[in-house]
């Protein structure tokens, strides 16, 4: 196994069958499995995570009688390789670091290293890195519904490795750096929840006047909306500022017919028909106008009340009850299906303010308490008309909307920064591994030997000596192949 200038000093490239393994064993299939914990745990592809860890969150068991010899067990220090899966997942690998023994399926291959020359942890990390880089996807055998890596192909896989002591240092360095990345990612995972809570707090503050408290002091001459009727004797229900009113949805409608749900039976898709908006077409704060269903004009025309105009409010009253948007200009002339209510409000009210109130925790809790049905939860239009809303003067509505938009834009930026940071941590893991396997992560054994004025045994010399003593493993005593690169 001759080295080239691409291989770090003291390192060697070899196939797994070139004496690096003491044993390679494929697991066994068993139809008599269960999830109740009866028998012996049976490791399957799901038990190796995409992070290269043993994952026991879902574990199947097989009868103890099926596990009657060592060849069917994974033990501490083994390497477990996923030999059959989808093209994107075949090749996942993990180091088995648990003390208790487990069985493993025929979709897994157990590798036991010749630990005189190869660290099992080093091998597991290396093979998983190859999977991440798409190596096994590029060489797998594709079948009808899955892909596989045979024992022969796996044994012919080349790896690049240094002397054993250097392998241990590399593994320790990788584990230390990955632990820091794990901690960083754990903090990043908490951010979406914090941002969600921030948005909810902003909406809650908007509904009780806290968001514009100092604004009202400056703009103390603002007059209330005298043309909006306040709900009788209900102001005590919500603690709202002076000058605000407590109104029902009924109070803010243009007329009694300005709250309706949409088309009950849309029929078949009509490519030349009227676009019909569904719950799936609206998000929490955005809309989808790319795959809108189209309904025959004669059907849509039977639902004149729910033809959309910019500024209308769309509210999900079935399925994801409470999802709400203001109709954008591009939805003008569309209709809606029955799961959506169209709310047409008076011109003297800011629809974006009303939509934000509906999104607020107080209002969403109201939906939770009032919705009926279990298979398909819904809100009755009659009940919706009685829902109470805090209503400030129009200038304050505009100011509340402006402040919400500004704060939500900040939240959006935080989420975007988190997404970038997550992407960077994922790339940093691969960068760390690339450095590790090019001899740049820790000092090489050759370099340390020169510093300390001692001799060392290059990996190629040790491997040649081991093979000459016991013969290469994996494929009997086949003469090892010479490989210069991975």
Which pLDDT score, from 0 to 100, does residue 289 have? 72
Mean predicted confidence (pLDDT) in 180-191:
95
Backbone angles phi, psi at 317, to 5 degrees: -115, 0
**Which residues have CB under 8 Å from 208's CB, separation 6+?**
238, 239, 240, 241, 390
The Cα-based distances of 190 to 183, 195, 197, 231, 414 in angstroms read 11, 9, 11, 41, 12
Q: CA-CA distance, 70 to 103, in Å (whole number)?
A: 9
Residue 199's Cα: distance from chain center in Å?
Answer: 21
Percent of the chain with pLDDT over 70: 92
> How many Cβ atoms are within 10 Å of 154's Cβ, its own excluded?
23
Q: CA-CA distance, 94 to 43, in Å (whole number)?
A: 12
pTM of the predicted model as reported, rounded to 2 decimal places: 0.76
| Beta bridge pairs of residue 477 | 475
**pLDDT digit string, tens, across residues 69-110:** 999 999 999 999 999 999 999 999 999 999 999 999 999 999
DSSP secondary structure string for all residues of 143-179: -SS-EE--HHHHHT-EEEE--HHHHHHHHHHHHHHHH
**Which residues have CB under 8 Å from 414's CB, separation 6+?**
191, 195
In the 8-state DSSP scheme, what is residue 299? H
Return the SS3 of 249.
helix
**pLDDT digit string, tens, across residues 124-156:** 999 999 999 999 999 999 988 899 999 999 999
**pLDDT digit string, tens, across residues 368-426:** 888 776 677 889 999 999 999 999 999 999 999 999 999 999 999 999 999 999 999 98
**Which residues have CB under 8 Å from 156's CB, separation 6+?**
15, 16, 17
**Which residues have CB under 8 Å from 181's CB, separation 6+?**
425, 428, 429
**pLDDT digit string, tens, across residues 222-279:** 766 655 555 554 444 567 888 899 999 999 999 989 999 999 999 999 999 999 999 9
| Beta bridge pairs of residue 316 | 340
């Amino acid at each position: 196994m001759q080295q080239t200038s691409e291989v770090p000093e003291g390192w060697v490239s070899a196939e797994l069958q070139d004496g690096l393994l003491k044993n390679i064993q494929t697991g066994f299939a068993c139809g008599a499995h269960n999830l109740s914990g009866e028998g012996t745990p049976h490791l399957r592809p799901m038990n190796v995570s995409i992070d290269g860890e043993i994952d026991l969150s879902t574990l199947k068991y097989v009868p103890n009688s099926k596990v009657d010899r060592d060849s069917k067990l994974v033990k501490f220090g083994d390497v477990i390789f996923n030999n059959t899966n989808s093209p994107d997942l075949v090749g996942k690998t993990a180091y088995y670091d648990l003390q208790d023994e487990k069985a493993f399926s025929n979709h897994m291959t157990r590798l036991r290293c010749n630990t005189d020359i190869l660290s099992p942890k080093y091998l597991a990390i290396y093979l998983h890195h190859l999977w991440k880089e798409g190596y096994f996807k590029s060489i797998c055998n594709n079948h009808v519904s899955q892909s596989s890596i045979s024992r022969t192909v796996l044994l012919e896989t080349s790896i690049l490795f240094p002397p054993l002591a250097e392998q241990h240092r590399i593994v320790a360095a990788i584990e230390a750096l990955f632990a820091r990345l794990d901690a960083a990612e754990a903090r990043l995972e908490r951010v979406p929840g914090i941002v969600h809570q921030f948005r909810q707090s902003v909406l809650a503050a908007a509904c009780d006047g806290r968001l514009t408290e100092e604004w009202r002091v400056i703009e103390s001459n603002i007059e209330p909306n005298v043309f909006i009727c306040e709900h009788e004797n209900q102001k005590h229900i919500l603690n709202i500022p002076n000058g605000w009113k407590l109104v029902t949805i009924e109070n803010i409608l243009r007329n009694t017919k300005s709250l309706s749900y949409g088309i009950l039976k849309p029929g078949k898709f009509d490519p030349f028909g009227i676009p019909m908006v569904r719950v799936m077409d609206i998000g929490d704060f955005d809309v989808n106008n790319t795959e809108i269903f189209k309904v025959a004009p004669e059907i849509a025309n039977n639902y004149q009340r729910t033809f959309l105009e910019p500024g209308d409010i769309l509210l999900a009253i079935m399925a994801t009850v409470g999802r709400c948007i203001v109709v954008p200009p591009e939805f003008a002339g569309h209709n809606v299906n029955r799961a959506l209510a169209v709310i047409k409000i008076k011109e003297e009210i800011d629809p974006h303010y009303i939509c934000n109130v509906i999104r607020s925790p107080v209002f969403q809790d109201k939906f939770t308490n009032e919705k009926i049905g279990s298979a398909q939860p819904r809100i009755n239009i009659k009940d919706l008309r009685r829902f109470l809303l805090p209503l400030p003067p129009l200038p304050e509505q505009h100011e509340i909307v402006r402040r919400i938009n500004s704060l939500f834009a900040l939240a959006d930026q935080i989420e975007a920064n988190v997404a970038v940071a997550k992407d960077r941590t994922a790339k940093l893991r691969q960068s760390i591994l690339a450095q590790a396997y090019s001899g740049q992560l820790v000092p090489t054994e050759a370099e340390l030997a020169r510093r300390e004025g001692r001799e060392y045994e290059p990996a190629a010399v040790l491997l040649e000596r081991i093979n000459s003593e016991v013969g290469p493993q994996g494929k009997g005593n086949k003469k090892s192949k010479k490989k210069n690169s991975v």
